[in-house]
Amino acid sequence: MIPIYTDVTAAFRTHLGDTEVAAGQVWTDASGKCDVYLQQAYSELYKGMEGAGVQNIIRTLYGNLPAYTSYINPATFGASNFSEPAAHPLFERDVAGTVSITGAVPNTATPGAPFVRITAASHGFQTGNMVLTFGILGLTSDVNDQWSVNRVDANTFDLLGCTATGTYTATTGKATSSTQDWAELLPSSQIENFPQSPSASLSQYAWVDRAFRVYPASTIRQIKMVFYLSASAPTNATPTASLGFDDCLGFLAYRGAALATLDRAGATGKYRELNTIALGPTGIHQDWGGLYGLLMRSKARSAARNPVIIGSFRDSRRNAGPVCRY
């Protein structure tokens, strides 16, 4: 599971004993006091992942691009943790249909058979259809992805295999289907001289001033965007933002709480207790101890099974690390 900001801060408060009130009394999200320690712990994890060549710093985002759109800002498209494009950053295909999601409830009644039940009036999907979901807030970000669905009835379907948790907080989610395979947009040095009569597809893109420029299409298009995660953690300004890495909650919460304890009270027994859980008895990241070591070994094994390609969009300041596989 990929946690969101509030998942980590809730565990952070538990480790510091700030639990008399559900939202905390000292380490509240509203105060932003957790943020500096969460950022340090996240930065340590990010650098470790990057140094080990773990491809989890790559993310894929889906969404619909309105017709006649020529500018895609990753942040406003939904990539709040965007750092830079991957080697092959944009893909497109047609949109067969889109419905608004009014409910999204994780299944907790059937262990071993994860799904999220979606409510969307007259959705039209059939069992076995592949559906993209995006814009679902409140649940962990892994709910916004590509899923095979099980039709329950005319207004309900399940995202099979989805392990997202949380509570749907806004009716901003969409589900969309397509009849086509993904087609990669080809890179161009610049996009200009827009045609008076746009075609039905985007075809090309240029990465200019931290945004994608595309030739506008005459129809709505599904978009797959592939990018590197930012090295900056979410803050209290984005409480439902993803922390980016599967199973990172334990390390981030324990390491963040240890750093807060060290800052407030020094190297006390409580600090050593929390830090040992986070980093192991030596407290050294390179030793891969504690929750950090468990996480790094798991991701490193995955990286070894799935070798990556060094891509043309890598920042010149970074000479190692993965790009996405296809």
Average pLDDT score over residue span 82-109: 94
Matching residue, tokens 């990057």 = 50
Is 111 a member of any domain? yes
What is the token pair recorded at 181? 């395979």
pLDDT at 315: 36
pLDDT at site 52: 78
3-state secondary structure of 256: helix
Number of helices and strands (H, E) in the chain?
Answer: 6, 15
Instruction: Give kind and range of the element (H or E) at residue 84.
Output: strand 82-94
Which residues constitute the domain of residue 277? 5-56+231-305
Domain count of the fold of the chain: 2
Is 201 contained in some domain? Answer: no
Average pLDDT over residues 170-183: 94
CB 318 within 8 A of CB 86: no
Query: Look-up: residue for tokens 């900056």?
Result: 232
CATH of the domain at 125: 2.40.30.180
Q: Which of 5-9, 31-35, 47-51, 298-302 bottoms out in mean pLDDT, i.e. has the lowest? A: 298-302
Is residue 102 domain-shared with residue 170, that is, in the same domain?
A: yes
101 & 173 share domain? yes
Q: For tokens 């749907």, what's the residue?
A: 168
Q: Is residue 281 part of a domain?
A: yes
**pLDDT tens per residue, range 232-248:** 888 998 887 888 788 89
Return the pLDDT at 166.
Answer: 85
Does the residue 186 lie in any domain?
no
In-domain check, residue 325: no
173: left (phi over 0), alpha (psi -120 to 50) or beta: beta
If asked whether residues 111 and 172 sit together in one domain, one would say yes
CA distance 1 to 153: 28
Considering 177, 209, 242, which residue would you say is the last residue of a domain? 177
Question: Does residue 188 fall inside a structural domain?
Answer: no
* pLDDT digits 0-9 by tens, 151-172: 999 999 999 999 888 899 888 9
Both 101 and 52 in one domain: the answer is no
* Burial state string for 63-77 with b = 16 or more CB within 10 A and e = fewer than 16: bbbeeeeeebebeeb
Output the pLDDT for position 24: 94
The answer to the question of residue 135 being in a domain is yes
The CA-atom distances, in angstroms, between 52 and each of 89, 248, 278, 286 are 22, 16, 18, 11
Q: Which residues on neighbouring strands pair with residue 146, listed in sequence order? A: 132
- Select from 177, 194, 209 the last residue of a domain: 177
Same domain for 41 and 113, yes or no, is: no
In terms of domains, do 52 and 113 share one?
Answer: no
Longest dimension (CA), the chain: 70
In a domain? residue 69: no
Strands of the sheet with 146-153, listed across from one edge: 97-100, 174-177, 130-134, 146-153, 156-160, 115-119, 103-106
State mean pLDDT over 200-206. 93
pLDDT value at position 240?
78
Where are the strands (E) in the chain, listed by range?
58-65, 71-72, 82-94, 97-100, 103-106, 115-119, 130-134, 146-153, 156-160, 174-177, 183-184, 186-187, 204-208, 211-214, 221-229
110-164 pLDDT tens trace: 777 899 999 999 999 999 999 999 999 888 888 999 999 999 999 999 999 998 8
Strand partners, 59: 227
Summarize pLDDT for 68-90 with one digit per residue, the tens. Answer: 999 999 989 988 789 999 999 99
